[in-house]
Amino acid sequence: MLRTVVCRAGSGLLKHSRQTVPVLWGTRAQQRWASSLPMNTVVLFVPQQEAWVVERMGRFHRILEPGLNFLIPILDRVKYVQSLKEIVIDVPEQSAVSLDNVTLQIDGVLYLRILDPFKASYGVEDPEYAVTQLAQTTMRSELGKLTLDKVFRERESLNSNMVHSINQASDDWGIRCLRYEIKDIHVPPRVKESMQMQVEAERRKRATVLESEGTREAAINVAEGRKQSQILASEGEKAEQINKAAGEANAVLAKAEAKAKAIRVLSEALSQKNGNAAASLSVAEQYVSAFSNLAKESNTILLPSNTGDVSSMVTQAMAIYGSLAKTQAQSATEKTTPETTELLLDGKSAYENESEQKF
C-alpha cells in the first residue's frame, strides 16, 4: 500500500511540481521571470540553493531545505519560493541633479542575495522591486551631494555609499546588497562640450608647463656647465700660477746658489796672488761696458765730472772694496789673538803699498 502511494506521489510530482512555461511577474518598470509555485504532492524534492516557504492552514509553518521533504495534503501549501543565489538586477536609467545643478542620466547594476527567506516572503510584497526603487532613490540622493567632476572621480566611493545605504534599509527584508555598479552616465550635450573644452585647456596647460620646465632644466644645465667650466678653468689657472711660482722660486734659488758659488769662487780668487789686480781689471771692464750703454735707453743722463778718467773710477771702486775689507777685518780681529791681529795688519799694509805702486 505504501509503495503504491509513493509511486503515485512521484508520478504526480513529475507532472505537476513545475510548469514548463515561466510566468511573467512584476511591474512594467521591473519585469522578472520566475517559476510557478509547486503543488503539494506529499513528497517534494527541493532544488539546491532554493528555499520553499510552507504555510499550514494559512500560517507560516516551516522552510523546506534542499532535498527530500514530506508535506500533508490539503493542510500544507508551498506559498513562496525564494532563490538563494546571487541575483543581478538592472536599475533603469533615471535622471538626477548634481550639486552644481547639472542634470545627469544614470543607470546601474545591482547585485543582491536573499539571506532570510522568511523576511523576504513576509517583510515586503516584492523584495526585488523594492530594492530597485530604493537603489534609484538612493542614487538621486547621493548624486545630489556631489559635483559633476566628483561624480566621475569618486565613482568607486559612490558605489560603496550606495551599498551601505541600501543595506541599512533592506535588513528588515532579509536581503543583502553585495555591490552596486554604475553602468553609464550621460551628461547634456552642452555640458559635454564644456567638459571637452576644459580637457583640451588642461592638456594645453600641461604642455605649456612641461615646455617651461624643459626650458628651465635646459637653462639650469647650461648654467651648471658654465659653472663647472669656470671652476675647472680657475683650478687650472691656480695650478698654473702655483707651478709658475714654484718655477720662479726654483729659478731664484738656482740664481742665488749660482751667485753664492760665484762669490765664493771670486773670494777664493781674490785671496790668491794678484787678486786685487784681477778685481781692478774686472771693475774697469764693467765700467767701460756700462759707459758704452749710456744714452741708449733714456734721453736723460746723469754723469760724474770725471767720466773719461777710468783709473780714478777704478781707484774709487777699489777704495770702497778696501773699506769693506777693513770692516770685515776689524770684526774678525775681535775674535782672534793679538798675534793674529798684527799679522793681518802687516798683510793689509803690504797690500796697500803694492796697490799704490801699481796705480
pLDDT in tens, 79-128: 998 888 888 988 888 888 888 888 888 888 999 998 888 988 888 888 88
Instruction: Please check the confidence at residue 21 and state whether its pLDDT lies above 70.
Output: no
Instruction: Please check the confidence at residue 35 and state whether its pLDDT lies above 60.
Output: no
Q: Which residue has the cell 504532492?
A: 41
Instruction: Please check the confidence at residue 308 and state whether its pLDDT lies above 80.
Output: no
Instruction: Please check the confidence at residue 60 and state whether its pLDDT lies above 50.
Output: yes
- Beta-ladder partners of 64: 52
Rounded to an integer, what distance in angstroms lies between the CA atom of residue 174 and that of residue 171? 5
pLDDT category at 293 given cuts 50, 70, 90 is: low
- In three-state secondary structure terms, 37 is coil
pLDDT at 20: 33
Rounded to an integer, what distance in angstroms lies between the CA atom of residue 244 and that of residue 237? 10
- In three-state secondary structure terms, 21 is coil
C-alpha cell at 326: 777693513
pLDDT at 13: 37
Tell me the pLDDT of the chain averaged across its residues: 75
Structure-derived torsion over alpha carbons of residues 337, 341, 347, 350, reported in degrees to the nearest 10: -150
> Quick check: 104 and 98 in contact, CB under 8 A?
yes
Instruction: Please check the confidence at residue 4 and state whether its pLDDT lies above 80.
Output: no
Rounded to an integer, what distance in angstroms lies between the CA atom of residue 34 and that of residue 52? 14
> Quick check: 139 and 110 in contact, CB under 8 A?
no
For residues 207-236, give the mean pLDDT. 90
> Quick check: 53 and 121 in contact, CB under 8 A?
yes
Estimate the crossing angle of helix 189-271 against helix 275-292, to 10 degrees.
130
Rounded to an integer, what distance in angstroms lies between the CA atom of residue 95 and that of residue 349? 138
How would you class 181 by CB atoms within 10 Å of its CB: exposed for 0-12, middle for 13-18, buried for 19 or more?
middle
Instruction: Please check the confidence at residue 220 and state whether its pLDDT lies above 90.
Output: yes
Write out pLDDT tens, residues 139-164.
888 888 888 888 888 888 888 888 88
Residue 5: count other Cβ atoms within 10 Å of its Cβ: 11
pLDDT at 125: 85
pLDDT category at 25 given cuts 50, 70, 90 is: very low
Strand pairing report for 67-70 and 59-64: unpaired
For residues 249-267, give the mean pLDDT. 83
For residues 243-270, give the mean pLDDT. 83
- Beta-ladder partners of 110: 89, 180
Report which of 105, 198, 194, 90 is spatially closest to residue 143, judged by C-alpha positions.
105
> Quick check: 166 and 138 in contact, CB under 8 A?
yes
> Quick check: 106 and 186 in contact, CB under 8 A?
yes
Which is more confidently placed, 193 or 281? 193
Asked which of 19-28, 69-78, 182-191 is least confident by mean pLDDT, the reply is 19-28
pLDDT category at 287 given cuts 50, 70, 90 is: low
Instruction: Please check the confidence at residue 19 and state whether its pLDDT lies above 50.
Output: no
Asked which of 154-158, 305-309, 310-314, 334-338 is least confident by mean pLDDT, the reply is 334-338
